[in-house]
Amino acid sequence: MPTFDQLETANLATELTSPEASRAARTIAVTSPASRNGSAQESLLGGRSFSSGIQPTENEGALAPEDAASPATSTIAVAMSGGVDSSTVAAILHERGQSIVGLTMQLWNQRRLPELQGDGPRQHRCCSLDDVYDARRVAEHLTIPFYVINFERQFEQTVVKPFVQDYLNGRTPIPCTRCNNDVKFEQLLSTARQIGADKIATGHYARVRFNAGTNRYELWRAVDDSKDQTYFLFGLTQAQLARAEFPLGEMKKQEVRSIARRLEVPVAEKPESQEICFVPSGSYVRFIESYLREKGSERDVGPGGMKLGESGEIVATTGEVLGRHHGLHHYTVGQRSGLGISVGRPVYVVALDRERNQLVVGDDAELRSSICEVRDINWIPFESPDAPVHARVRIRNRHEPAEAEITPLTPTTAQITFHEPQRAITPGQAAVFYADEKVLGGGWIV
């Protein structure tokens, strides 16, 4: 009877014959070169073995661009969400012959808060099994190594809890920015470096440039202005920017789709998702209520206590009581509909007064303001300035940046004075400062 010892251990690793792949440090064992863009099945059967030549790198902190990824020597981790953008990033880098590894973050367990799962067809959300499956399919298609990493604990602490707390405190948060700052470009980047990658590439529409004159990394708006995501990336530090790669920043969305089609990326036709990934069908109020109910049952309400806001008064800026609200977390500054009051003229939410549990409403003029304060500022092309800075400031994602003076109060706080009053400056949102296409920095509106 033949035994293992008698077996000839055949070396299956057939090095890819394409020149790009040969330049890459990593060689992928496949049965034939054809299977690279052919069926993943074939390469799987062929003893899919990724002989990664990833070498430990000793670079710490910010690295100069010459140390940054060059295809021949380094590996880039691609944050793959299962969507078309990050999938295409993986495909583009792979086509360039870059050594890559796909990482998908498991951020939220959709089995939690089951009452939020509707009966209708499942929406594509981050961390739904469908999206992890899609990301995996793309990685299989490209025959790149792929791993799902569990960040549920970290995501809840650094993104979900602050999100809920912000709403309870009368602010309107941007969880995506926190996720970028504290999860994607912090914990995932750290994991990527631990497993031997030098940089992390994402599907964000933004550009990173190194300015040799100032010796600093700069963040620039995407070429496709309609897709620009720098508003969500203002918090990236020099060390984070040094290790970030945004291949889509130079492209138009249509180009991305057509590249996805040309490279036969399995999710090329997948619709885009605009939702907050952990909030099903956009109902953040229901999410907050379910989350607090779950936390209440665990007797874990977190620091400072998280308690659902109670009903209170709706008042005019004059102090006149106009009606009652359902709890401040239902409202956001600038909101007009859903107030349930009728005063014979259009009224908007002007402020959320947590101290008095009052919802302050007023007319359009009262919604406009020229001044606001920001905190936790991150300056990008320079250290925090001593003198006022002129910039165009964006106060929400789709807001057209407006001319303003930014007067530093401390190294991380400033007062912003707009040339023209701005509508609905909302605490909890970010104010991001631009000089033309360059992002100067940003902070959180107080």
Partner 1 sequence: MQSNRQLFGGVGHSPQAGQPSRVYLDYNATTPVDPAVLDAMLPFLGSNFGNAGSVHTPGQVARAAVDAARDSVAALLGASPNEIVFTSGGTEADNLALFGAVAASTKARKHVITTAIEHHAILHSCEELARQGIDVTVVPVRNGSDGQGIVDPEEIRRAIRPETVLISVMHANNELGTIQPIEEIARMASDAGVCFHCDAVQSAGKVPLDVKKLGVDLLSISAHKFCGPKGVGALYVRAGRQISPRAWGGHAERDRRAGTENVPGIVAIGAAAEIARARLAEDALRLSALRDRLENTLLERVPHVRVNGDRSRRVPNTSNLSFPGAGGEALLIALDLQGLACSTGAACSSGSTEPSHVLLAAGLSHDDARSSLRFSLGRPSTAEDIDRAIEIVPSVVARIRALSPREQETAAHAR
| Nearest distance in Å: CB 6, partner 1 | 9
* By the rule CB under 8 A, 254 interacts with partner 1: no
**Interface with partner 1 by CB under 8 A: which range of 64-72, 149-157, 260-268, 437-445?**
149-157
**Pairing status of strand 99-106 against strand 146-150:** parallel
The residue from 141, 184, 193, 325 that contacts partner 1 (CB under 8 A) is 193
For β-strands 216-221 and 206-211, DSSP reports them as: antiparallel
Residue by residue, DSSP assigns 333-380 as: TT--TT-----SS--EEEEEETTTTEEEEE-GGGGEEEEEEEEEEEES
Do 28 and 141 meet the contact criterion of CB atoms below 8 Å apart? Answer: no
Question: Is 41 near partner 1 (CB under 8 A)?
Answer: no
| Whether 439 contacts 377, CB under 8 Å | no
Active-site hit among 126, 127, 176, 179: 179
Question: What's the rounded Cα separation, in Å, for the pair 66 and 50?
Answer: 27
Distance CA 364, CA 163 (A): 27
Residue 443: φ, ψ to 5°:
-155, 180
Interacting residue with partner 1 among 116, 195, 239, 308 (CB under 8 A): 195
Q: Which is nearer to partner 1, 154 or 407 (CB)?
A: 154
Contact 174, 429 (CB under 8 A): yes
The closest alpha carbon to 397, from 431, 365, 422, belongs to 431
Q: How many residues bind partner 1 (CB under 8 A)?
A: 40
Location of structure tokens 């400033």 = 414
268 near 254, Cβ under 8 Å? no
The interface region with partner 1, picked from 40-48, 113-121, 255-263, 372-380 by CB under 8 A, is 40-48
Residue 300 sits in the site that holds partner 1 (CB under 8 A)? no
User: How many CA atoms does the CB half-sphere of 207 hold within 13 Å?
Assistant: 15
Among 17, 32, 109, 317, indicate the residue that binds partner 1 (CB under 8 A): 109
User: Which among 52-60, 284-292, 308-316, 329-337 is the span making contact with partner 1, rule CB under 8 A?
Assistant: 52-60
> Catalytic: which of 126, 127, 277, 372?
277
Given candidates 37, 73, 191, 237, which one binds partner 1 under the rule CB under 8 A? 191
Instruction: Compute the half-sphere exposure of residue 80: CA atoms within 13 Å on the CB side of its CA.
Output: 37
Give the range of 8-16, 284-292, 322-330, 366-374 binding partner 1 by CB under 8 A.
8-16
Among 20, 34, 41, 45, binds partner 1 (CB under 8 A): 45
Nearer to partner 1, 196 or 408 (CB): 196
Is 117 a binding residue for partner 1 by CB under 8 A? The answer is: no
**Contact residue for partner 1 among 18, 33, 37, 46 (CB under 8 A):** 46
In this complex, which beta carbon is closest to partner 1, that of residue 8 or of residue 436?
8
What is the DSSP code (8-state) at residue 57?
Answer: -
CA atoms within 13 A on the CB side of 341: 24
Q: Which of 33, 38, 71, 196 binds partner 1 (CB under 8 A)?
A: 196
Token readout for 256 is: 């991305």
Find out whether 102 and 145 touch, Cβ atoms under 8 Å.
Answer: yes
| Choices 176-184, 189-197, 319-327, 388-396 (CB under 8 A): range interacting with partner 1 | 189-197
Cβ closest to partner 1, residue 2 vs residue 346: 2
Separation between Cα atoms, residue 54 and residue 99, nearest integer Å: 9
Measured between alpha carbons, how far is 140 from 147 in angstroms, rounded to an integer?
11
| Separation between Cα atoms, residue 387 and residue 233, nearest integer Å | 24
Single-letter amino acid, residue 227:
K
Closest CB to partner 1 among 181 and 358? 181
**Which of 16, 92, 100, 101 lies at the binding interface for partner 1 (CB under 8 A)?**
101
**8 binds partner 1 per the rule CB under 8 A:** yes
Which span (147-155, 209-217, 292-300, 406-414) binds partner 1, by CB under 8 A?
Answer: 147-155
Nearer to partner 1, 18 or 157 (CB): 157
Name residues contacting partner 1, limited to 55-84 (CB under 8 A).
56
Among 385, 382, 404, smallest CA distance to 395 is for 404
Q: CB nearer to partner 1: give 4 or 212.
A: 4
Instruction: Examine residue 237 and tell whether it contacts partner 1 (CB under 8 A).
Output: no
277 catalytic residue (yes or no) = yes
When asked if residue 411 is in the footprint of partner 1 (CB under 8 A), the reply is no
Distance CA 394, CA 396 (A): 6
Distance CA 160, CA 181 (A): 14
Positions touching partner 1 (CB under 8 A) are 1-4, 7-13, 29, 45-47, 49-54, 56, 101, 104, 106, 109, 132, 145, 147-150, 152-153, 190-191, 193-196
As annotated, the active-site residues are: 179, 277
